[in-house]
């Protein structure tokens, strides 16, 4: 039976991961990094990058909470930090600036010279970047240990990963159809949504910290 809680977490996870991973924005980056390679090699790179990113995201979603507890970091503090980080990424998306949280110019030059770009920079940090890892940990915690809700979180993340893979596979066609201007328009719209989501993360985390302080007081 599909409940309102499942619908809510499915919708939130899908939209969150969609704006953070930004499949459409990956297409021109991938073209810049691997556009001169044979088609079969680009397909292999796209598949490997998606699988590696999926593995990283899965690990963080499953053990991220335990890691935070081991380091003595509350989820509220992590939610605030994740919100601030996502808001910085959102600003870069809205103003169509290269995001420093994803890749530095030096890393980009190194990537273009490397043989295998599937792990770096495609899998991490372009797909499974800091914003993605923060989001999956927060969304997994939203499931509150409910296996059905947790499965819904990972299923929706898998759907977005599939979209990323398709964007990489079809990067040439996407670039020809929507062009640079189209990519910027989509990225800016997603950036506005991500900014609103980031503010919500910070607000929720702040409220949780305040409630914890009041209870301890």
Q: Where are the beta strands (DSSP E) in 27-123?
A: none
pLDDT for 157 = 97
Q: pTM score, two decimals? A: 0.72
Question: In whole angstroms, what is the distance from residue 143 CA to residue 29 CA?
Answer: 33
Give the closest residue to 132 by CA, choosing from 84, 187, 82.
Answer: 82
Phi, psi of 104 (to 5 degrees): -85, 160
pLDDT for 11 = 93
Question: In whole angstroms, what is the distance from residue 4 CA to residue 182 CA?
Answer: 35
pLDDT for 25 = 79
Question: In whole angstroms, what is the distance from residue 73 CA to residue 181 CA?
Answer: 41
CA 199 from centre of chain:
16
Q: Would you say 131 and 86 are in contact if contact means Cβ atoms under 8 Å apart? A: yes
Give the closest residue to 208 by CA, choosing from 119, 113, 82.
Answer: 82
- DSSP-derived letter for residue 22 is -
Ranges of the chain whose pLDDT falls below 50: 111-112
Question: In whole angstroms, what is the distance from residue 16 CA to residue 169 CA?
Answer: 22
Question: In whole angstroms, what is the distance from residue 157 CA to residue 107 CA?
Answer: 26
Secondary structure of residue 64 in the 3-state scheme: helix
- 146-166 tens-digit pLDDT: 999 999 999 999 999 999 999
């Amino acid at each position: 039976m599909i409940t309102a809680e499942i619908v809510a977490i499915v919708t939130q996870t899908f939209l969150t991961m969609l704006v953070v991973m930004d499949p459409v924005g990956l297409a021109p980056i991938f073209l810049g990094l691997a556009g001169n390679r044979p088609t079969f090699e680009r397909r292999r790179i796209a598949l490997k990058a998606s699988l590696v990113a999926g593995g990283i995201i899965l690990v963080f979603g499953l053990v991220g909470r335990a890691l935070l507890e081991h380091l003595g970091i509350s989820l509220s503090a992590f939610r605030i930090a994740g919100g601030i980080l996502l808001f910085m990424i959102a600003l870069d998306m809205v103003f169509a600036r290269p995001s420093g949280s994803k890749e530095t110019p030096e890393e980009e030059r190194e990537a273009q010279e490397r043989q295998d770009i599937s792990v770096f920079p495609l899998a991490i940090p372009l797909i499974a970047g800091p914003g993605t890892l923060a989001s999956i940990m927060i969304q997994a915690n939203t499931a509150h240990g409910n296996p059905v809700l947790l499965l819904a979180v990972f299923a929706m993340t898998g759907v977005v990963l599939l979209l990323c893979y398709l964007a990489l596979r079809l990067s040439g066609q996407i670039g020809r159809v929507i062009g640079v201007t189209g990519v910027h328009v989509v990225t800016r719209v997603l950036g506005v949504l991500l900014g609103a989501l980031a503010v919500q993360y910070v607000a929720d985390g702040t409220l949780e910290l305040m409630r914890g302080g009041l209870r301890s007081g």
